[in-house]
Chain A
Amino acid sequence: MQEIPSQWDLVVDVAVVGSGAAALAAAVSAAVAGAKVVLVERSDKFGGTTAVSGGVAWVPNNPHMADVGATDSREDALTYLRRLSLDRTEDRLLEAFVDHGPEAVRFLEAQTPLRFVALRYPDYHPEFPGGKRGGRSLDPALLDSHQLGSLAQAVRPSPHVPGPISIADTEAGIDLLDFTVIAERLKQGLLAGGNALVAALLKGCADHGVELRREARARQLHVQRGAVVGLAVEQGGRLVQIGARRGVVLASGGFEWNAGLCREFLRGPLEAAASPPFNEGDGLTMAMEVGAALGNMSEAWWMPLCRIPGEEYGGRDMYRITLKERTLPGSLIVNRAGQRFVNEAHNYNDIGRAFHSFDPVAFDFPNVPAWLVFDHGYKSRYPLITMFPEDPIPPWLPQAPSLRALAESQGIDPDGLEAAVRRFNDGAARGEDPDFHRGRSVYDHYNGDSSRDGALRTLGALTTPPFYALRMYAGTLGTKGGPRTNERAQVLHVRGEVIPGLYAAGNVMAGITGLAYGGAGGTIGPALTFGYIAGSTAARDASRF
């Protein structure tokens, strides 16, 4: 444990580590409560994982649900979350999320330029008790970056969302393949998605006097008489000692870019991450150092990822998320035996879990590696990652005139692949998937081909050569294990009691939903809520010096 410095370089009431949704919500809520706040971000851009995301927040019973004709209740929300918990979550944390989520939305909309739009996006298990077919997922409205002045340049750009576009645009009928719309928005300086969410909260922080520091990496917590009273931050080539009279909020993201921690803790193979490569578990390490109890450490927000060779982000290999790619008709996912192993159109978090199946006899993970296989009909109808139907086939996309040849070129069992496609095609002709029930849930339809009906939005035969194989990676959007907290976002000691002065929110904390991903924005909704709880609670905590 580092000794308390004889003199602080800076003294605040609340210090916030990180700059994603949880951190920014914590900082602005602490500042509004009257605290002097500093926020430290280790990279050269603000926004963390949130900034590179779609920015959607899943908040049950939120104040905008009526706008899309949806209704909700505390009971429905808790019923749904408990159904997804598999007895691996704490009810008091779920209750805190459901009770304070709507309040956090109202607060942030009142105190920052953030405005949310409710989506018709179904929950990820809409047919479960308490599940909804829309309304719980909130999309940040477009934001004019000119509001931020020079601070706009400090918002982390997203490699996944190249322009100011959002899911709300799709629901509003805007053709996102018309890039003149996006170009016009770029010229106007508009932000959308995760960038809009981060920019709005950042503006709120600036307006409420939060001191924002970039390239300031928190390294160690200072503890005095059992309470966290400050932290050491690497900045400008030296250690800056920051005293935090009322508390430190850890909101520094997950540990998915720390190979050692992933190997030790995660439940299965992790091949890639779609988050900024700065999420190396800084907050987790600091929390462990002061004796924090850990929870949910084997879990992450899973996502099958793909890759375009040569693409990099933050100096590391870049992996892209897959959503429509897995859902549109004329495609399926197989393992190296050529066998399907999951409903490809299902939500990414739960599909990601299927990559971790273990074969006890072969003693390996049979679904790693896996491939998205599709035919030329699919290629000529739908966009794929960054490719449009009219684009030439890039050299990095393997193709072959037959399924057998494709399988042989990729190390997939040819007999297995031919059999799997034959069976899938037979089912698709009947509009059903007897093996994995693809197309049965309304969720499966949402990202499918809207020109088709029912299960056919996602089911379609692979018949037209050439055939293609895109490697799928067992990936994540970020881990969700870390220091356990109580319902006030206070970090718990391994012995059970609260560690005074230490709070956690977002992906750094032990995720309150356990294995589950409630709906689109299932990461950011709890992050905003617990960030809000952490900031407002810390601001009212006892002053320790």
Chain B
Amino acid sequence: MPEVEHTALVAAPIAAVWDFCQDMANWAPLLTGYQAHEVVSDRESLWTLKGEVGGLTRTVQFRVEITEWKGPERVSFTLTGLNEPMTGSGTFHAAVAAANLPGDVVARPPAPSWWARWRERVVRWLFMRMFGRGVTEAGALSVPPQSQITFRLAVHAGGRAGPMINVLVAPMLQPVAEDFATRIARQVEERYAAGRV
């Protein structure tokens, strides 16, 4: 089963990450190929994605079921193809950024004063207005990371053509995971900088 994982650093606290990720509508459109999603229940949603394999773009519908909802750190889910014989699973894992962990002690910075928070937000807002983003062109964070998001995704094509599809899909998953985690990170940062968290 092709499986990939990617971690993106976020210049926002883990609470901001969780605040963003709690609502599927925030991050669903950030997934490569996203077309639509429909929330069926707290645990279940239906997704429509467009994916390209070998130049051919197909529309695939998945049933996504949340199997673990453990905020603010972890959400796990399973995928079941509705119009293609595909299954899969994935996990979002949010954590305090490794850079913020001195030694083996989890060190949470003291809560900043309201003045410090306001000043930081103004600086971020100015930065966003001037440069359009909170990170450098190379993707490196312009401010120290406070948290990180790890996105793991495994997809398995079944059916008779499964062995071929899995070979074709495997190299495409890594960029999908990278783009998705990175886009979420940037969105969280923007919202945090704009004071919407």
Chain A: which residue is nearest B54 at the CB level? A157
Total A-B residue contacts, Cβ distance less than 8 Å: 63
B contact residues around A157 at 8 Å (CB)? 54-56
Partner of B167, one of A156, A187, A309, A318: A187
- Tell whether A311 pairs with B57 under 8 Å between CB atoms, given A179-B161, A388-B160: yes
Query: What number of A residues sit within 8 Å (CB to CB) of B?
Result: 28
B contact residues around A308 at 8 Å (CB)? 58
Is A390 positioned at the interface, with any CB of B under 8 Å from its CB? yes
Write the nearest CB–CB distance from A538 to chain B, whole angstroms: 31
A180–B163 Cα distance when bound, in Å, is 6
Is B83 positioned at the interface, with any CB of A under 8 Å from its CB? yes
Query: What number of B residues sit within 8 Å (CB to CB) of A?
Result: 19
Write the nearest CB–CB distance from A187 to chain B, whole angstroms: 6
**Stretch binding the partner chain, chosen from A68-76, A158-166, A372-380:** A158-166
Is A395 positioned at the interface, with any CB of B under 8 Å from its CB? yes
Chain A: which residue is nearest B53 at the CB level? A162
A391 touches B159 (CB 8 A): yes
Chain A: which residue is nearest B52 at the CB level? A312
B159 touches A183 (CB 8 A): no
B55 touches A183 (CB 8 A): no
B contact residues around A162 at 8 Å (CB)? 53-54, 56, 161, 164, 168
Partner of A310, one of B53, B55, B58, B167: B58
Is A401 positioned at the interface, with any CB of B under 8 Å from its CB? no
A183 touches B164 (CB 8 A): yes
B contact residues around A156 at 8 Å (CB)? 55
Is A314 positioned at the interface, with any CB of B under 8 Å from its CB? yes
B167 touches A390 (CB 8 A): no
B contact residues around A388 at 8 Å (CB)? 159-161
B contact residues around A180 at 8 Å (CB)? 163
Q: Within B36-82, which residues are at the interface with A (CB < 8 Å)?
A: 50, 53-59
- Annotate A242-257 by CB proximity to B: 1 below 8 A, 0 otherwise: 0000000000000000
A157–B163 Cα distance when bound, in Å, is 19
A399–B50 Cα distance when bound, in Å, is 26
Chain B: which residue is nearest A316 at the CB level? B57
Q: Within A290-331, which residues are at the interface with B (CB < 8 Å)?
A: 308-314, 318
A contact residues around B55 at 8 Å (CB)? 45, 156-159, 313-314
Is A149 positioned at the interface, with any CB of B under 8 Å from its CB? no
A118–B85 Cα distance when bound, in Å, is 37
A182 touches B163 (CB 8 A): yes
B contact residues around A390 at 8 Å (CB)? 160
Write the nearest CB–CB distance from B124 to chain A, whole angstroms: 34
Write the nearest CB–CB distance from B79 to chain A, whole angstroms: 18
B58 touches A311 (CB 8 A): yes
Write the nearest CB–CB distance from A66 to chain B, whole angstroms: 34
Chain A: which residue is nearest B60 at the CB level? A310
- Annotate B13-43 by CB proximity to A: 1 below 8 A, 0 otherwise: 0000000000000000000000000000000
A485–B163 Cα distance when bound, in Å, is 47
Write the nearest CB–CB distance from B9 to chain A, whole angstroms: 30
Q: Within A142-192, which residues are at the interface with B (CB < 8 Å)?
A: 156-159, 162-163, 177, 179-180, 182-183, 186-187
The 5 closest A-B pairs by CB, nearest first: A310-B59, A159-B56, A157-B55, A183-B163, A312-B57
Interface residues of A (CB under 8 A from B): 45, 156-159, 162-163, 177, 179-180, 182-183, 186-187, 308-314, 318, 386, 388, 390-391, 394-395
Besides A182-B163, A311-B58, A388-B159, 5 other A-B contacts (C-beta < 8 A): A157-B54, A162-B164, A179-B164, A312-B50, A313-B57
